C-alpha cells in the first residue's frame, strides 16, 4: 500500500500567549504518510478529513491549558476521517470506515505514544479503542466537533448540575463550541434555556439552534432581563464558560439555592502565565457574600480531570452523546471551515470570537 505524503502543522515552541505562538512558532511542514510497518497491531491509520479548532487548541500553544504538550507537537485534539490502514488486532473497524477519534486517548490531549498525532495533519494514528464510527447523519465537520464539546456539556449539566426538565438554565458563551453544545443538551433534557452573548448576530443563530430566550450582555447590566424572564425569581442553574464580569452579574439573577457551574473563563484566558509556566496569578474571583446569602452550590466542572479521578464517569457519558447524536437530537453547528494551509486564519477566527459553534480545518 502506498499513501501520498501530506502536511501537518507543527508548534515548535510555546508562545507567551496564543497569538504569539500562532504568529511566530506555528508552521505547516511536509508529512510523509506513516509507514504501517512501524505501527502496532491495534493501531488505526486515518486520513484526516476534518479537525476541530478548539479553544483548548489555542491555549495549548502557549501552555496556558492545564495539560501542556511538549513542543514540537501537532495541534488538533479532535479529528475525523477515513480508515486507510488498520493493524491485524484492530477489531471492529474496516478500511474505508468513517470514524472520529477520541481526543482523550489520542492526540495532544492524551498521554503516551499517540500524543504525537494531532488532527491538524493529513494523517492521524490512534489505538483502536480511540476510534468510533461517525454517528449516522453527521458529516466529518460535525463529527470532529462532537465529543469534546458535548461531553463537557454533559459533565457540567448532567453529572454536576443535575439539570431536570422544567428548570431554567442560564448559559453564558452560548455561541461557543461548548456553549452551543450546552444549549442543545439542556433542551434535550427538557430545560428552558436563557442564552447570553455579546453579538446579536451570533445570538440569532443560538436562538435558531434552540435557546428559548437570548440576552445580550452588551451594556454590562443584564440581570433585570434575566429576572424578568423568570418572573423575578432567578434561574435554577448557571452554565458559566465566560467568567469575569459575566460571572459577577450572574450572581444577581439566580434563585436561592441555585447551582452555579464553573465551566471555563473565555473572557479571562490568561489565568496562567504563558510559555507553559505553572501558577494562576490572574485567577477569577467570586464574592463569598453573595454565594453564602443566596445559598448557592458552586460546582467546579473540569470534565477531563474529573474523568481521570473517576473513570466510571466516561462510558455512560460517551454512550449518551454518541446515542443522542445518532438519534439526531445533538447536531454540532459548524460556522467556519478552512483548508489546512489556512490554519492561522482558522485559529485567529476562533481567537477573535468570529465563530459560532464549531470551527474546522479540512486537511
Q: What residue ranges bind ligand NAP (CB under 6 A)?
A: 54-56, 152, 173, 175-179, 197-199, 202, 241-242, 263-267, 301-303, 353
Closest to ligand NAP by CB, 81 vs 197, is 197
Closest to ligand NAP by CB, 71 vs 244, is 244
CB of 331 to ligand NAP, least distance (A): 16
Closest to ligand NAP by CB, 6 vs 338, is 338
CB of 205 to ligand NAP, least distance (A): 9
* Partners of 124 in the β-ladder: 46
CB of 291 to ligand NAP, least distance (A): 19
CB of 237 to ligand NAP, least distance (A): 15
CB of 86 to ligand NAP, least distance (A): 30
d(CA 30, CA 284): 41
Closest to ligand NAP by CB, 155 vs 255, is 155
* Terminal Cα distance for the chain, rounded: 20
Report whether the peptide linkage leading into residue 49 is cis, meaning its omega lies within 30 degrees of zero. Answer: no
d(CA 102, CA 357): 19
Closest to ligand NAP by CB, 71 vs 270, is 270
Q: Tell me the residue nearest to ligand NAP as measured from the CB.
A: 176
Closest to ligand NAP by CB, 202 vs 317, is 202
| Neighbouring residues of 269: CB distance < 8 A, sequence distance ≥ 6 | 18, 59, 64
Give the largest Cα separation in the chain, rounded. Answer: 67
Burial class (CB in 10 A: 0-12, 13-18, 19+), 69: buried
The answer to whether 103 and 143 are in contact (CB under 8 A) is: no
Closest to ligand NAP by CB, 75 vs 173, is 173
CB of 278 to ligand NAP, least distance (A): 17
CA dihedral of residues 286, 289, 295, 298 (deg, nearest 10) = 10
Which value, in Å, is the radius of gyration of the alpha carbons in the chain?
20
Residues 62, 66, 71, 75, CA torsion sign? negative
Closest to ligand NAP by CB, 87 vs 353, is 353
Closest to ligand NAP by CB, 83 vs 330, is 330
Is 43 strand, coil or helix? Answer: strand
CB of 334 to ligand NAP, least distance (A): 11
CB of 352 to ligand NAP, least distance (A): 8
CB of 176 to ligand NAP, least distance (A): 2
Burial class (CB in 10 A: 0-12, 13-18, 19+), 207: middle
Cα distances from 336 to residues 37, 54, 129, 350, 360, in angstroms, run 37, 12, 29, 9, 6
Residues 26, 123, 306, 166, CA torsion sign? positive
Amino acid at each position: 500500500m502506498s499513501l501520498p505524503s501530506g502536511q501537518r502543522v507543527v508548534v515548535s515552541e510555546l508562545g507567551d500567549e496564543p497569538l504569539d505562538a500562532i504568529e511566530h512558532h506555528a508552521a505547516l511542514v511536509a508529512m510523509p504518510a506513516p509507514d504501517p510497518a512501524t505501527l502496532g497491531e491495534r493501531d488505526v491509520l486515518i486520513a484526516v478529513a476534518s479537525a476541530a479548532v478548539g479553544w483548548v487548541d489555542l491555549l495549548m500553544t502557549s501552555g496556558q491549558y492545564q495539560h501542556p504538550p511538549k513542543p514540537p507537537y501537532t495541534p488538533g485534539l479532535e479529528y475525523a476521517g477515513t480508515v486507510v490502514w488498520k493493524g491485524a488486532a484492530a477489531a471492529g473497524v474496516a478500511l474505508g470506515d468513517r470514524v472520529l477519534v477520541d481526543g482523550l486517548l489520542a492526540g495532544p490531549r492524551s498521554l503516551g505514544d499517540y500524543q504525537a498525532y494531532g488532527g491538524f495533519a493529513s494523517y492521524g494514528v490512534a489505538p483502536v479503542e480511540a476510534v468510533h464510527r461517525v454517528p449516522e447523519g453527521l458529516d466529518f465537520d460535525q463529527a470532529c466537533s462532537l465529543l469534546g464539546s458535548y461531553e463537557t456539556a454533559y459533565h457540567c449539566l448532567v453529572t454536576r448540575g443535575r439539570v431536570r426538565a422544567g428548570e431554567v438554565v442560564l448559559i453564558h458563551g452560548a455561541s461557543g463550541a461548548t456553549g452551543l453544545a450546552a444549549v442543545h443538551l439542556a433542551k434535550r433534557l427538557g430545560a428552558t434555556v436563557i442564552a447570553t452573548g455579546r453579538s446579536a448576530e451570533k445570538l440569532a443563530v443560538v436562538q435558531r439552534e434552540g435557546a428559548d430566550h437570548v440576552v445580550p450582555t452588551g451594556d454590562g447590566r443584564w440581570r433585570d432581563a434575566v429576572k424578568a424572564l423568570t418572573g423575578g425569581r432567578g434561574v435554577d442553574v448557571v452554565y458559566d464558560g465566560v467568567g469575569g464580569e459575566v460571572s459577577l452579574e450572574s450572581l444577581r439573577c439566580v434563585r436561592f439555592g441555585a447551582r452555579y457551574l464553573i465551566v471555563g473563563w473565555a473572557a479571562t484566558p490568561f489565568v496562567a502565565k504563558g510559555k507553559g509556566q505553572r501558577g494562576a496569578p490572574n485567577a477569577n474571583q467570586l464574592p463569598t457574600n453573595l454565594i453564602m446569602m443566596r445559598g448557592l452550590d458552586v460546582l467546579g466542572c473540569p470534565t477531563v480531570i474529573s474523568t481521570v479521578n473517576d473513570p466510571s464517569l466516561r462510558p455512560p457519558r460517551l454512550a449518551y452523546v454518541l446515542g443522542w447524536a445518532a438519534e439526531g437530537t445533538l447536531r454540532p453547528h459548524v460556522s467556519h471551515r478552512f483548508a489546512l494551509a489556512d490554519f492561522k486564519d482558522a485559529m485567529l477566527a476562533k481567537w477573535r470570537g468570529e465563530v459560532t459553534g464549531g470551527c474546522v480545518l479540512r486537511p
